[in-house]
Amino acid sequence: MRVSVVGASGYVGGELLRLLLNHPGCEIASVTSKRYAGELIYRVHPNLRGSTALKFEEMSPEKMNDSEIVFSALPHSQSSEVVCGLIAQGRKVIDLSADFRLKDAAAYEQYYGYKHLHPDALEESVYGLPEIHREEIKKAVLVAVPGCMATAAILGIAPVISQQLIDPAKLVVDAKIGSSGAGVSPTLASHHSERSGGVRPYKTTHHRHIAEMEQELSAVTKQEVRVSFTPHAVNMVRGVLATVHAFGKGPVETKDVWKAYRSMYEKEPFIRMVSDNRGLYGLPNPKTTTGTNYCDIGFEVDPHNNRLVIFAALDNLTKGAAGQAVQCFNIMSGIDERAGLNTVGLHP
Amino acid sequence: MRVSVVGASGYVGGELLRLLLNHPGCEIASVTSKRYAGELIYRVHPNLRGSTALKFEEMSPEKMNDSEIVFSALPHSQSSEVVCGLIAQGRKVIDLSADFRLKDAAAYEQYYGYKHLHPDALEESVYGLPEIHREEIKKAVLVAVPGCMATAAILGIAPVISQQLIDPAKLVVDAKIGSSGAGVSPTLASHHSERSGGVRPYKTTHHRHIAEMEQELSAVTKQEVRVSFTPHAVNMVRGVLATVHAFGKGPVETKDVWKAYRSMYEKEPFIRMVSDNRGLYGLPNPKTTTGTNYCDIGFEVDPHNNRLVIFAALDNLTKGAAGQAVQCFNIMSGIDERAGLNTVGLHP
Amino acid sequence: MRVSVVGASGYVGGELLRLLLNHPGCEIASVTSKRYAGELIYRVHPNLRGSTALKFEEMSPEKMNDSEIVFSALPHSQSSEVVCGLIAQGRKVIDLSADFRLKDAAAYEQYYGYKHLHPDALEESVYGLPEIHREEIKKAVLVAVPGCMATAAILGIAPVISQQLIDPAKLVVDAKIGSSGAGVSPTLASHHSERSGGVRPYKTTHHRHIAEMEQELSAVTKQEVRVSFTPHAVNMVRGVLATVHAFGKGPVETKDVWKAYRSMYEKEPFIRMVSDNRGLYGLPNPKTTTGTNYCDIGFEVDPHNNRLVIFAALDNLTKGAAGQAVQCFNIMSGIDERAGLNTVGLHP
Amino acid sequence: MRVSVVGASGYVGGELLRLLLNHPGCEIASVTSKRYAGELIYRVHPNLRGSTALKFEEMSPEKMNDSEIVFSALPHSQSSEVVCGLIAQGRKVIDLSADFRLKDAAAYEQYYGYKHLHPDALEESVYGLPEIHREEIKKAVLVAVPGCMATAAILGIAPVISQQLIDPAKLVVDAKIGSSGAGVSPTLASHHSERSGGVRPYKTTHHRHIAEMEQELSAVTKQEVRVSFTPHAVNMVRGVLATVHAFGKGPVETKDVWKAYRSMYEKEPFIRMVSDNRGLYGLPNPKTTTGTNYCDIGFEVDPHNNRLVIFAALDNLTKGAAGQAVQCFNIMSGIDERAGLNTVGLHP
C-alpha cells in the first residue's frame, strides 16, 4: 500500500519514517517538509542513514494522489487545513497533530487558543486509540492520533474507571516526560544545560492533554470525569511515565483491579501488564519501552488510604505518536495490527 | 566549638564535612569510618582535596570527649546504640539516621522492620526541622534530622494544612529523587546503566518517610493526616522534588495560600518562595537548589478541580540531610542560623 | 538452526537474546545462567517481556548437544574451560569473552593477569571481525568475538594503515565509552551518582584492548604497530567513540583516505561512512548507532600538522559484542550476513 | 572596590555574578544586558534568587565611571569596541571574550573570521592566565581571559614542554566538554534530545582555541609548538577534560615529570595535582571541579610508546572563564588571590 508523510522533519515524522521503512505492507510514495525540501532524509534523521535514499519534497496535493493513506505530522493548528484538503481529495488521513482529537470545537479555544476552522470534521474524525476505538478506526477516513501523555493516562485509567472502581472526581495524574516530547525546535526549556540535572513542573494545571483525557474517560465511564493533571520535564530523551493516584469508591481490592485490566487488555498486542513488583523491573519504567509500541501498565493498592496507584509507561514517539499511528494504519488496512511494530526494546 | 562526625564515609557524611570545613564556628575534632580508618578523607570525598588533610579514624568513645556536639551519619538501626552511648557520655548529638525521628516506637517495626532498642530516647529527641521545631532544637540534647523527602513534603504542606485550607484525607505526594538519595553503596537500582534514561517508581505505597510526614503534619494540624506517597527514582544525582496534589476543603483562593506561606515562612532564612510562574524558573526545580540549604516552594491553584498543587524542591544531601543538620547545630549553638550554609547554587 | 547461549544474564548475553529471538534463522535451545537458573529471562532482561517465556537453566554439557552453535557470554578467564569442553563435544562456539582473542598465550599473563589454560586453542580460534577475517570465520570452529573498543579502533585504522598512509609508531586512540561496557555488576565506578556529570579516564596506558589492536593492525600492515590507547568513561549507557589521531607518513590527502576506506569497506553491510561533515550528524556519534550493528566511520585531514583524525562509533553491546557475534554466526551458517541484524537506530 | 559587569545574561556572566556577589572585596555597581534590561537578575540566573535584588540595566559609558574595574562578558567580536571605549574612559577591563587573547591580529581572520578593529590593543592586553602571566596581570589595564579548553591544555602542557620533556611537533589534545560551553542560546547542537546519550566530535581540526594554545606554549618553550586539537561534546553540563597525548623527546621518566609540575605549580592556589591514580578519583575528572576554580592535573607515563598522557580538568565556567577572571581581578587589586573563590566542589 502506498503512503505519504506530510511534515516529516520533526521527531514524530522521523519516528514514523523509521517504522514505515521497515513495514512489510507499505511503500513510501512521498515525504514532505517545507524546510528541508530537496535534502536527503538521513541528514535530518541520521538513524536512517543506510536505510533510505529518499529526499524530502515540497508538499503538493497531486503528489498525494496515489497514496491510499496519508500521515500528517504537521504542527497543531497548521494540520487541519491540509488534512481537510486531502480528505476532500479522497485520501484517508492519519493526523498526528491535536487538530482532530477533540469533539468539542470550543475546547480548541479553551485549551489551544485558536478557533477551529473545520469543526465539521471533528464529528467525522476518530480518536486513534485502538484499545478503545478499534472498530471505529477500521472504518475511519480521518484518525486523530492521541497525545502521548493522554495515551498513557487513558490506558492506565480506563479499565478501572469503567468498572466503577475509583472516584472520578479525585483523579490525580502526575506525569514525567522526556525532552523529545517538546519537539525538535531548540528552546531554552529543552536546552541541554537547563534540562539536565533537574525536574521541572510545567503547565501545572492547564495542560492541553487534560481535554483528551476527560473526553475519553468520561465517554468510557458515562459520567463526567475530572482529571487533575501535572506534567514534569525530566532528564530523559524518550518516555512518559504517568503516575495515577486514584481513590476507591468502595474498598479497592487487588483482584478486582486485575480483573478490570485483564478483561479489557487480555488480547491487546501492545499492552504489557508489568505489575508483579518483583525486582528492578516489576513496575512500568519508560526505559523499557524505548523504541517500542508497548504501553506498560502496573498498579499497587494502598490500603492505608484506599488509594490505587497506577503506572503507565510508553515511548512518547512510538505508542505516544508514530507507533500508534502505524497501529491505526494496520487496523484501517485490515492487516496484522503488529506489522512494522516489532521493535524489541533495549536493555540497558 | 569542637565537633566530631561519626560514620562519615557516605554521601551524607561527606556533605557534612564539606559544610563543617567551611563553617566559621566549628573545628573538627574527629571523623570516623570503620571501613576507611587511616585513609585520607579526600580519597573518599574527592571534592575535599585541597580543603583538608584529615584522615578517617576508628570510632572510640574517648575521642568524642572533647567534642561538644557529635554528628552521627551512621546507617538506620546502627545509629541508636552509638548515639545513646554518646548521650550517656554527656555529648549532644545530631543524628542523621532515622533512628530517632519517630515518636512511636511501634512505627519502627511497621516501617523499618526492626524493634527499637532505646524507645525512651524517642521522647527526648527533637525532630530537627527548624521551621517547625526551632524552639525545641535550641534546648535539645538529641536532634533527629528529618528524611529528605519528608522535609520537602512537610515544608510544602504545613502552612496550608495548619490553616485548614486543604482536605487532610486526600493528600497525594508524588516525589522525584536523585540517585545520591540511595547512598554510596553500589546496587543494581543505582547502577548507571539502569538508572539513566528512565523513571522508576519504588516503594510505591509504603515508603518509610510516610511515617514522618504523618507524624509532623498531624501534629501541626491537630487532626489525623493521611499521606498518599509515591517516590520515583529519576536520572539526576542530587535533588528532590515533592509534588503535592491537595484538594481544598472549601474553594481554594490564591491569596489565602500566599497568606499561609507568608505567615509561616516570611522570616525563614532557607525557604525561598518560587511561585511567580514566570519563565523557566518560576516554579521550584531541584536543579536550582543543588549544594544549597534552600527549600524552594511554589504552588498553583487549579480551579478546575479545586486542587492546590504545591512544589517543594531541595537538595537531598543539604537541606534534606547535612545542611539541615548544620542549621540545627547553629540553632543549638546560639549562632547565626546561616553560618556555614552560604553556598550559592550553580546555574546551569 | 538450534543455538544455545551460555552465561546469558549479563548485558552482552541479554543483547544476544534480543537479537537471536528476532533472528529468522535460529531457534534457541537453551539459555544458561548459574545465578538465575529457573528464573524467567524477562525478569533479568526486562526488554524481552512479551517476546519470550524462556527461563534460564543451569549449564550442562548434555543440553548443548542438539545446538549446532553455542554462544558463550561467560566472563574472561572462566570461558575457556567451558568453551574447550564444548568443542571437544563437537560443538562450534562463538565466544564473547577475551579468552581466545589473542594468539600469543603470554599476552594473557601480561594483559589479563592469568595463565591461559588452553593455549593450543588459540591457534585454532578465529578473531571474529568479519571485515578482516570473513573467509576464516566461514570455516571456523571457534570464533573469538573482539572487544568493543578494539573493534572500533581496528575498523577505523585498518584501511589507512594497510595502505601505508600513516605512521604506525605514533598512533593515538582516545576512546569514550558508555557505562554498559562495564557490565551488569554494580561497582562504584558505574554507580549513577559517580558516573553522571563527569568524564573519567581509566586504565590510561595499559588497557587490555591494546593487545587486540596491535595484534590485528600489525597483521594487516605486516609491520609492528604500537597503539597509544586511553579510554574514558562518559555519561552515556551504550556506545563507543574511538578518536584516532594519526600522523601521515607522507602528506595525507583526503582522496587517498577515501580510496582506502572505499576499497576495503565498499561492500560491507555494517560499515557506514559518515564523513561528509555536514550538519550535526556529519561525523560519527555513537548515539546514532544505538541498538544497531553499524560501525560508523568518518575522518578529517588536518593539514596544520599532517594529522589524520579518524572517528569510529558503534554500540558496544551490538557491533562491539553480540551483534558482531550474530554476524559471525550468519557467516558460519552461510546465510545472509544481515539476518537478525536489521534494527534501525533511534533518533533522537 | 566597585566593579561592573557588561553583558551579564549568559552563562559566563551569571557565573561571574555568583562569584562577585560573594566576594569580600568588591561591590557591584552595574550589571548590564541589552536583552534583559529592567529584569531582575535572578529571573535569568535562578541560582541567585535570595542572593541579590539587582536588576539588569542598559549599558551606558557613564554608569561605568565609578567602577574601578569592568568585566566584559560580551560575545566575541562585539566586545572589542566596548572594551576599547571603556579603556579610553580610564577603566581597567577584564574581558571574557576572545577579542584580546591573540597577539597576532591576522589570526583573528584565520580563526574567527573577522578583521580585528583594534589591533593596537592586542599588544597592550595581557593573556589572563595567572600561572604564566601573574606579573603582567598585576600591572595590566586590559586582561583577556583565556578560553576554557585552552586553559586546561596550556596548564597541563606548559611545565613539561618548558622542561623540554616532550616533542613539540606531535602534541595531541583530545578534549571533552560539557554543554554549558556552548552558551545559553538554544541550538540543535545543544538541544537536550540531541546531546544526551552521545559523544559528538566538532571543529575537529580547526577549533579557535588552537591559536591560544600555540601562542602560549610556543612562548613558554621558545620554539614553535603545533597542537593537534579535537574537542568532543559530551553529555555533561559543566566541565572540560583535556587529555594530552605527548611523546617524549628522550625517554620520559615519571620523576622528571613530577619535578616539572612541582617546580611550576607548587605554590599555585588553584592547581591540584591529582595523580596518585588510586581509587576512582586518582586522576582528574571535571566532576570534581564543578563550581570551583581548580584545575586538576594528573599524568601517566606509558613506557610502551614513550608516551606521556596528561589529564587536565576544570569547570569551563569557573577556572575556564569567570573564576579565572576573578583570580585576575584579585591579582590586579593586590588582594588575596583566593578571595571570592572559596567554593568547595560537591560530591557526588
User: All 3 cell numbers of residue D204?
Assistant: 575537529
Residue of C nearest to D238 (CA): C197
Task: Confirm if D64 and D70 have CB atoms less than 8 A apart.
Answer: yes
- Subunit contact D176:C287, Cβ cutoff 8 A: no
Contact yes or no for C327/C130 (Cβ under 8 A): yes
Report pLDDT for D278: 87
Taking the Cβ of residue B187 and every Cβ of chain A, the question of whether any pair is shorter than 8 Å is answered with: no
Which residue type sits at A222? K
D197: nearest CA partner in chain A? A237
**B111-134 residues labelled b (16+ CB within 10 A) or e (exposed):** bbeeebebeebbeebbbbbbbbbb
Q: What is the set of active-site residues of A?
A: 148
**Chain A partners (3+ C-beta pairs within 8 A):** B, C, D
- Tell me which chain A residue has its CA closest to the CA of residue B310: A204
Considering only CB atoms, which chain D residues are within 8 Å of C348? 193-194, 196
Cell of D205: 581540526
Q: Which residues, 6 or more positions from D207, have their beta carbon under 8 angstroms from its beta carbon?
A: D149, D229, D230, D231
Is the separation of the CB atoms in D331 and D270 below 8 Å? no
| Interface contact C48-A347, CB threshold 8 A | yes
Give pLDDT tens digits for C195-249.
999 999 999 999 999 999 999 999 999 999 999 999 999 999 999 999 999 999 9
Average pLDDT of the residues in D135-152:
98
The neighbour count for residue C334, using CB atoms within 10 Å, is 9
Q: Which of B169, B206, B307 has the CB atom closest to A228's CB atom? A: B307
Q: What is the largest CA-CA distance in chain C?
A: 62
> And the C-alpha cell for A261?
485490566
- Mutate which: A193, A234, A235, vs D, most D CBs within 10 A: A193
> What mean pLDDT is predicted for residues B78-92?
96
C-beta atoms of A280 and B311 within 8 A: no
Backbone dihedral angles phi then psi of residue A105, each to the nearest 5 degrees: -55, -35
CA A227/CA A205 separation, integer angstroms:
10
Task: Look at residue C22 and tell me whether its pLDDT is greater than 90.
Answer: yes
Least confident of B290-294, C36-40, D166-170: D166-170
Determine the distance in angstroms separating the CA of D347 from the nearest CA of chain A, rounded to an integer.
14
Q: What is the mean pLDDT of chain D?
A: 97
Facing residue for A191 by CB, picked from D178, D190, D197:
D190
- Chain B residues inside the 8 Å CB shell of D179: 348
Report the Cα D184 to chain-centroid distance in Å.
Answer: 17
Contact D191 A188 (CB under 8 A): no
Q: Which residue bears the cell 596491535?
A: C214
Q: Is there a contact between B150 and B213 (Cβ–Cβ < 8 Å)?
A: yes
C-alpha cell belonging to residue C327? 554476524
A274 and C49: CB-CB below 8 Å?
yes
Residue B307 above 90 pLDDT? yes
Chain D interface test: which of C149, C171, C177, C199 (most D C-beta within 10 Å) = C199
Q: Is B48 on the interface with D (CB under 8 A)?
A: yes
- How many interchain CB pairs under 8 A, C with D? 168
Length of chain B: 348
- Contact list, C51 vs chain A (CB under 8 Å): 344
Residue B36 predicted with pLDDT over 90: yes
Of the candidates B204, B228, B283, the beta carbon closest to that of A201 is on B283
B184 contact C CB<8A: yes
pLDDT at D118 over 90: yes
| pLDDT tens column, A169-191 | 999 999 999 999 999 999 999 99
3-state SS class at D209? helix
Cβ contact C197–D309 (<8 Å):
no
| Per-residue model confidence (pLDDT) at position C277 | 84
In angstroms, the CA A110 to CA D141 distance is 59
| Whether B241 and A199 lie within 8 Å, measured CB to CB | yes
Q: Which of residues 86-145 of C touch A (CB under 8 A)?
A: none
Vertex B254, ends B253 and B259: CA angle to 5°? 100
The shortest C-alpha distance from D290 to chain B (Å) reads 9
Nearest to B234 among A202, A234, A237 (CB): A234
Q: In this structure, which amino acid lies at residue B258?
A: W
- Does C342 reach chain A within 8 Å, measured CB to CB? yes
Tell me the residue length of chain D.
348
pLDDT of A3-44, one tens digit each? Answer: 999 999 999 999 999 999 999 999 999 999 999 999 999 999
Report d(CA A272, CA D194) in Å as an integer.
29
> Distance between CA A97 and CA D241 in Å, rounded?
43
Give the integer Cα–Cα distance in Å for D50 and A196. 23
Q: Point out the catalytic residue in the list C26, C84, C148, C295.
A: C148
What pLDDT is attached to residue A39?
97
Mean of pLDDT over chain A: 97
Please tell me which of the candidates C206, C283, C302 has its beta carbon nearest to residue D201: C283
Q: Choose among A172, A236, A302: nearest Cβ to B199.
A: A236
Contact residues for D213 (Cβ-Cβ < 8 A; gap 6+)? D150, D153, D154, D157, D173, D225, D227, D229
Q: Nearest residue on chain C to D199, judged by CA atoms? A: C285
Give me the residue from B179, B193, B197 closest to C193, CB to CB: B179
**Res. B67: pLDDT tops 90:** yes
- How far is the C-alpha of C158 from the C-alpha of B76, rounded, in Å? 56
State residue B344's pLDDT score: 95
CA distance B222 to D208: 65
pLDDT score recorded for residue B278: 87
Confidence band for B171, pLDDT divided at 50, 70 and 90: very high
Tell me the pLDDT of chain C averaged across its residues: 97
| Residues of A whose CB is below 8 A from C238 | 346, 348
Task: Give B-chain residues touching C188 at CB under 8 angstroms.
Answer: 184, 186
* Closest residue to B191, CB basis, from C192, C197, C235: C192
Interface residue C195 vs chain B (CB under 8 A): yes
pLDDT in tens, A243-297: 999 999 999 999 999 999 999 999 999 999 999 988 899 999 999 999 999 999 9
Q: How near does any CA of chain D get to the CA of B2, in Å?
A: 21
Work out the average pLDDT over B163-181: 97
Whether D192 sits inside 8 A of A188 (CB atoms) is no
Q: Does A348 touch chain D (CB under 8 A)?
A: no
CA-to-CA separations, D325 to A336, D16, D126, D331, D339, in angstroms, rounded:
65, 8, 12, 10, 12
Q: How far is C25 from chain D (nearest CA, A)?
A: 32
Q: Which of A49, A272, A345 sits opposite C272 (nearest CB)?
A: A49
D51 and B CB contact within 8 Å? yes
Nearest CA in chain B to A247: B170
* pLDDT for res C278: 87
What pLDDT score does C59 carry? 94
Distance CA C316, CA C238 (A): 6
- Single out the residue of D208, D211, D210 nearest to residue D104, CA to CA: D211
pLDDT score for D277:
84
pTM: 0.97
C187 close contact with D: CB closer than 8 A: no
> Is residue D40 less than 8 Å (CB to CB) from chain A?
no
Contact A348 C237 (CB under 8 A): yes
Among D15, D35, D177, D193, pick the best mutation site for testing chain A contact (most A Cβ within 10 A). Answer: D193
Q: Does B346 touch chain A (CB under 8 A)?
A: no
Contacts of B43 in chain C (CB under 8 A): none
Nearest CA to CA, how far is D46 from chain B (Å)?
6
Q: What per-residue confidence (pLDDT) applies to B277?
A: 84
Q: Is the pLDDT of residue A109 over 90?
A: yes
| Alpha-carbon gap: B3 to the closest alpha carbon of chain D (Å) | 20
